[in-house]
Amino acid sequence: MSFTLAIVGRPNVGKSTLFNRLVGKRLALVDDQPGVTRDLREGAARLGDLRFTVIDTAGLEDATDDSLQGRMRRLTERAVDMADVCLFMIDARTGITPTDQIFAEILRKRAKHVILAANKAEGRAADAGVIEAYSLGLGEPLRLSAEHGEGLGDLLAELMPLA
């Protein structure tokens, strides 16, 4: 028996980029522009010798500010309940936003196991955001660059005990 990992976080932090990298097929669209309606996506992930199920939470990018919170919450809660472990992704270049705080709260209350990942962490421009991520109270952030494939060894090390 393997495990299910849900990648959660606000729009545009890089969730689908990581999903695509783990699944190795273009199952999830990656957009620079918001505006594409999406939902939960499931794929068969490979990382090192690990095989697991990965869920990409999407379907948020087209929401207006008013509907964003409700939709985001419902979708994230669904993914969290399906998952054995959640990878909570923040954008280290942007730093922590109020929306990130909302996600952190959902995960603290609901998730069985959380891995905090500070994505877009390639280069020094991300250093301040990585430090800020400690304030979420979800432990030490994992430095990740989904786009450049950095930090995947550390992610593998965190997932290994769950397999």
| Out of 55, 80, 114, 119, the residue judged to bind ligand GDP by CB under 6 A | 119
- Angle, CA 75 vertex, CA 7 and CA 128 arms, to 5°: 45
Residue 20 annotated as binding site: no
Selection from ligand GDP, Mg ion, none that 21 binds (CB < 5 to 8 A by kind) is none
Q: How far apart are CA 76 and CA 58, in angstroms?
A: 9
Q: 111, 25, 32, 114: which is closest to 41 by C-alpha?
A: 25
Nearer to ligand GDP, 16 or 76 (CB): 16
**CA-to-CA dists, residue 77 to 2, 69, 123, 127, 134, angstroms:** 21, 12, 32, 30, 23
Helix (H, G, I), strand (E, B) or coil at 137: coil
Q: How far apart are CA 97 and CA 47, in angstroms?
A: 29
Instruction: Answer yes or no whether residue 147 interacts with ligand GDP by CB under 6 A.
Output: yes
| Nearest distance, CB of residue 1 and ligand GDP, angstroms | 28
Instruction: Answer yes or no whether residue 120 interacts with ligand GDP by CB under 6 A.
Output: yes
Instruction: Answer yes or no whether residue 76 interacts with ligand GDP by CB under 6 A.
Output: no
| Out of 3, 4, 12, 62, the residue judged to bind ligand GDP by CB under 6 A | 12
What residues make contact with ligand GDP under the rule CB under 6 A? 11-17, 30-32, 58, 61, 119-120, 122, 145-148
